[in-house]
Amino acid sequence: MFKFALLLAALVSAPASADTDALYQEHCAECHGADRLGAMGPALLPENLGRLRAAKAEAIIRDGEVASQMEGFGDKLTGEEIKDLVDYVFTPTDEVPVWDEANINASHITAVDPATLGDKPIFDADPLNLFVVVESGDHHVTILDGDRFEPLTRFQSRFALHGGAKFSPDGRFTYLASRDGWVTKYDLYTLQIVAETRAAINTRNIAVSSDGKYVLAGNTLPHNLVVLDAGDLSLIKILPVTSASGESSRVSAVYNAPPRHSFVAALKDFKEVWELPYGDGADLTPRRLQVDTVLDDFMFDQSYEVIIGAARDLEKGQIIDLDTGKKRAEMNWPGCRIWAQGSHGN
Ligand code: HEC
């Protein structure tokens, strides 16, 4: 009897079958990509679905999402088939999906030639006092006049923007990153998208260098950092995130450190923090700091000499010296969570 129960459990939780793959290819691939990396619709991989619950995914597939092209399949698929599709999208693909130089270059869209952009705002408001409001629910961005609190424009964004809007040093351009790795450059003077590139399959966040030259995307899939030209978002280089012993890691967060002329990246899967210098002809070659815990996120102190990091267990904050990598202090704050995003201009 016991054996039988085990066998049954194994049957019930069997990974998505060839039938489910066929269902996916027939009904879903057109919008979500045959490889599930996303197309017109978002990527459907466990890494990307992240916080989406299985029950919510089931409801979306059955009933659709309001005001989107995701229609409900409740009348075409049985409840069982929908459940199988939920399992399917939460199961990693057989092979680790690839997103390399060729994919990044092929994704690159130049919407307007940056050289043709006028040099004056096309609206009557202070261009340095605008708010970029990300409406994550329905994937739109509103540009708000910060004096009058009136919208200047509203446009559809990539699916699930996150990590906060970043700005060029002169404040004219804003850079947005989406869950699925799309980086968008938007001109706040002429109110239009300038360029877009899909830097990765899944991106944690982006940072913009103080010299206005680079956009750095910190990614969780693939495990790398991607450097884009801040002008037209073309690819400059890919930095795989690997340790001396050959392990690879997701990136937890990247931020710009203006006085250091560098980016700093925290890693999620091995105990290093990377500093990538770009000033004085430096070429973003990582300087690796050995730290004693992996960090989920961090912020800088005012001097940019230390970072204040949040460890995975969320109970401990760490103060780490950015020159030596040594821990200067540890804070035991039960439930401590550090929200660093967007709090440093870049
Ligand atoms: C006509 C295009 C289209 C088809 C066909 C389609 N989808 Fe979607 N799907 C979308 C779009 C667009 C979204 C994003 C909706 C939104 O804006 O919230 C989406 C969202 C989803 C989400 C939620 C993702 C998230 O991260 O919140 C799931 C799950 C999903 N689709 C599964 C499926 C499955 C399974 C099928 C096949 C049975 C399917 N979709 C067919 C376009 C499509």
Note the pTM of the prediction, 2 decimals. 0.91
CATH number at residue 127: 2.130.10.10
Ligand 1 pocket residue status of 116, Cβ below 6 Å: no
In a domain, 296, yes or no: yes
Find the domain containing 34 and state its range: 2-89
Question: In Å, how far from its chain's centre is CA 144?
Answer: 24
Burial category of 12 from C-beta neighbours within 10 Å (exposed 0-12, middle 13-18, buried 19 and up): exposed
Task: State the distance from the centre of ligand 1 to the C-alpha of 39, rounded, in angstroms.
Answer: 10
Return d(Cα 207, Cα 176) in angstroms, integer: 10
Pocket test for ligand 1, best of 19, 20, 32 (most atoms within 8 A of CB): 32
Task: State the distance from the centre of ligand 1 to the C-alpha of 247, rounded, in angstroms.
Answer: 33
In terms of domains, do 108 and 211 share one? Answer: yes
In a domain, 166, yes or no: yes
Pocket test for ligand 1, best of 31, 71, 81 (most atoms within 8 A of CB): 31
In a domain, 346, yes or no: no
In a domain, 55, yes or no: yes
DSSP type of residue 299: E
Q: What are phi and psi of 21, to 5 degrees?
A: -60, -40
What local confidence, expressed as pLDDT, does residue 342 receive?
Answer: 37
Task: State the distance from the centre of ligand 1 to the C-alpha of 70, rounded, in angstroms.
Answer: 5
In a domain, 278, yes or no: yes
Atom of ligand 1 nearest to the CA of 88: 35
Query: What are the mean pLDDT values of the chain's consecutive 10-residue runs (346 residues total)?
Result: 43 64 97 96 95 95 94 97 97 94 98 90 92 90 94 96 94 97 97 98 98 98 98 98 95 97 97 95 95 90 93 77 90 59 36
Task: State the distance from the centre of ligand 1 to the C-alpha of 197, rounded, in angstroms.
Answer: 22
Atom of ligand 1 nearest to the CA of 30: 5
In terms of domains, do 107 and 183 share one? Answer: yes
In terms of domains, do 120 and 221 share one? Answer: yes
In a domain, 143, yes or no: yes
What local confidence, expressed as pLDDT, does residue 262 receive?
Answer: 98
In terms of domains, do 256 and 286 share one? Answer: yes
Q: Which of 42, 57, 89 is the last residue before a domain boundary?
A: 89
Containing H/E element for 109?
A: strand 109-110
Tell the residue nearest (CA) to atom 32 of ligand 1: 61
In terms of domains, do 32 and 157 share one? Answer: no
The number of domains in the chain is 3
In terms of domains, do 299 and 215 share one? Answer: no
Cβ atoms 263, 275 nearer than 8 A? yes
Task: State the distance from the centre of ligand 1 to the C-alpha of 268, rounded, in angstroms.
Answer: 29
Q: Which of 120, 159, 125, 124 is nearest to 139 (CA)?
A: 159
Q: Which of 89, 122, 142 is the last residue before a domain boundary?
A: 89
Ligand 1 pocket residue status of 62, Cβ below 6 Å: no
Return d(Cα 323, Cα 52) in angstroms, integer: 39
In a domain, 33, yes or no: yes
Atom of ligand 1 nearest to the CA of 67: 17
HEC string of 261-298 equals CEEEEEECCCCEEEEEECCCCCCCCCEEEECCCCEEEE
Task: State the distance from the centre of ligand 1 to the C-alpha of 220, rounded, in angstroms.
Answer: 22
In terms of domains, do 218 and 273 share one? Answer: no
Ligand 1 pocket residue status of 137, Cβ below 6 Å: no
In terms of domains, do 103 and 200 share one? Answer: yes
CATH number at residue 54: 1.10.760.10
Q: Which of 89, 108, 128 is the last residue before a domain boundary?
A: 89
In terms of domains, do 208 and 298 share one? Answer: no
Tell the residue nearest (CA) to atom 6 of ligand 1: 28
Task: State the distance from the centre of ligand 1 to the C-alpha of 40, rounded, in angstroms.
Answer: 9
In terms of domains, do 298 and 182 share one? Answer: no
Pocket test for ligand 1, best of 31, 70, 78 (most atoms within 8 A of CB): 70
In terms of domains, do 207 and 104 share one? Answer: yes
In terms of domains, do 196 and 293 share one? Answer: no
Task: State the distance from the centre of ligand 1 to the C-alpha of 135, rounded, in angstroms.
Answer: 18
